[in-house]
Amino acid sequence: MSDTSLRRIVALVIALLLVYQMGAIITGLFGAAWGVLSALVVAGVTFFATRLAKAGGKRSVWFLLPTLLFTVVPLAITVWSMFAQDVSWMDRATALVPFVIGFAAPVLFLLLVYHALRVRTRGDY
């Protein structure tokens, strides 16, 4: 499989993780209709940003900005909801671990792989 194909697969996986996580958080907070709407918005913004990144050339940050935004916002919502509860620090840490392992860490690792593949396919060393 070529580096370009791998880069596209990584970008697709990042987008799917973003859509799922934002949809799950909004569904949990406001209900299913808002969750579906937010997932569509995230998918649209990610698609639009990807198009801008392709048009932006070698040093475009359009793909990175929505990814970071949609990673930081769920993290902030998760941390805020944990601090709104009156529980111990151990309970808060235990509640945060699935989010970090299941979403934040995979997105960050995939971003590293995407960047390395982008550098290799474009020849920017």
pLDDT digits (tens, 9 = 90+) for 73-95: 877 887 887 778 788 888 878 87
Q: Which domain holds residue 54?
A: 3-122
User: Mean pLDDT throughout 110-117?
Assistant: 83
Determine the longest span between alpha carbons in the chain, in angstroms. Answer: 52
Tokens matching residue 70? 């949609």
Residue 59 pLDDT: 61
Residue 103's contacts (CB-CB under 8 Å, 6 or more residues apart) are 17, 21, 71, 74
Q: What is the pLDDT confidence band of residue 22, given thresholds at 50, 70 and 90? A: confident
Residue 9 pLDDT: 84
Total domains present in the chain: 1
pTM confidence score: 0.59
